[in-house]
Amino acid sequence: MQLPEVVRTSALPASFLAVPFSARVLFLVRRIPPGCVATYGDIAALAGRPHAWRAVGNIMSGCGRRDVPCHRVVAAGGRIGGYGGSELLKRALLVAENVPVSGWRVREFSRVRWRPRRSRRQ
């Protein structure tokens, strides 16, 4: 099933909400382009459960799929956060995608924060 692009919780079609939360999270994370990041809270809100940021973190930590760029999901305020036990690897992957990182924080966070465009179907 191909899921529609979404922007805000209020715009989620019922068919998207019928899909399990973990599948919605993985669908959204796959859409974060290289050079951009989103927070666990951003993904939770876009997936229809705005307070489920911790659940998003758990899904990311257990993912292990090469087609899901889990390293592009960061903690609130641009903190790098964990990455399967290797924050150094997460930092290196972000730097390789030209995400500006200083220490353990994404610099210019508002510039590189992913904000999906509105769907034209709304």
Catalytic residues: 70
Please answer whether residues 60 and 73 qualify as being in contact, where contact means their C-beta atoms are separated by less than 8 angstroms.
Answer: yes
- Alpha-carbon distance values, 72 to 11, 55, 80, 104, 115 (Å): 24, 16, 9, 14, 13
CA distance 113 to 106: 9
Q: Distance between CA 82 and CA 92 in Å, rounded?
A: 13
* Burial (CB count <10 Å: 0-12, 13-18, 19+), residue 21: middle
Instruction: Give the single-character DSSP code of 79.
Output: B
Instruction: Please give the radius of gyration of the chain, using alpha carbons only, rounded to the nearest integer.
Output: 14
